[in-house]
Copies of this chain bind each other. A is one copy, B any other.
């Protein structure tokens, strides 16, 4: 993806090496594809949409680079994370440059649509806010499900909404269509993230490319943990939280949580949240003001994202 779309001066090379490294990795690319798909509903010529799609993916990768520094994450998509490969200082600086190049690409390719950059900058700030709220959660033991949903909305879903909306903005569609596409992206992002939490515990370890229960063992707040906390009585809740600080092995801890989940049907509770947002996606698609002939494609795309096993 990197080499074809790159038009800018890539000097000094050290600053741009991490761009190539991360943009060339295999990822789902669901944000740029969302934008291209949305744009194709209004104009079959994707020339104008391509640089915006590239910018959205570049911005997403900027967030991954900086998040991996903050989380001390050693790997990403089965490869060394950028700060492990290039050092923390260069990862930080190159991340800043990714963010700026993304803004620049959008600015250059949407000069007649100032609303595009405006909305993108608001979204980019939302993503930072989501990451900040996520960091705050690490210091708290109990998070409500609405608080959690608000966090993943900001951290994950708004960018997908913005990608879908941008296709409509680029082709001067009215506010109603823009908002419908934005909300489709929000609900899609929420369903996606909830499924991600569930797959962390119940997915195919090999296909998912991560160790099962990785999030749980690191005591990351996930929909499963929050559903469990909601269901437990105060005494059990206390015991459950104490387990965060226990010195048992990872595998013992994981089994402790999984036993709880089984006993209280937590997986089913989490799936109810997933189903809720999935249904909202299909509801929006049925109402959305685009040519009916595109709807099966949109439905298929949504299904691909949220009915995944990896």
* A interface residues with partner B (beta carbon < 8 Å): 11-12, 14-15, 66, 69-70, 89-90, 92-93, 96-97, 99-101, 103-104, 107-108, 111, 114, 117-118, 121-122, 124-125, 128-129, 131-133, 135-136
Contact = CB atoms under 8 A, between A and B. Distances in A.
B89 A135 contact: yes
A158 to B, nearest CB: 13
Contacts of A122: 104
B14 A132 contact: yes
A128 to B, nearest CB: 5
B121 A93 contact: no
20 contacts: A12-B133, A12-B136, A14-B136, A15-B128, A15-B129, A69-B89, A70-B89, A70-B93, A93-B128, A93-B131, A96-B99, A96-B128, A97-B125, A97-B132, A99-B99, A99-B100, A100-B121, A100-B128, A101-B125, A107-B117
A49 to B, nearest CB: 20
A129 B107 CA distance: 20
Contact of A118 (B89, B108, B129): B108
A135 B118 CA distance: 33
Contacts of A66: 92-93, 96
A97 B154 CA distance: 14
A100 B126 CA distance: 10
Given A103-B121, A104-B118, 10 more contacts: A11-B129, A12-B129, A12-B133, A15-B129, A15-B132, A66-B92, A96-B99, A103-B103, A107-B121, A117-B117
Most interface-central of A69, A93, A108, A132 (chain B CB within 10 A): A132
Nearest to A15: B132
A105 to B, nearest CB: 10
Contacts of A96: 66, 96, 99, 128
Nearest to A128: B97
A132 B98 CA distance: 13
Most buried by B among A69, A93, A122: A93
A168 B88 CA distance: 39
Nearest to A125: B100
A14 B131 CA distance: 11
A166 to B, nearest CB: 15
Contacts of A131: 93
Contact of A124 (B90, B92, B100, B114): B100
Contacts of A125: 97, 100-101, 104
A93 B93 CA distance: 13
Given A12-B136, A133-B12, A135-B90, A107 B118 contact: yes
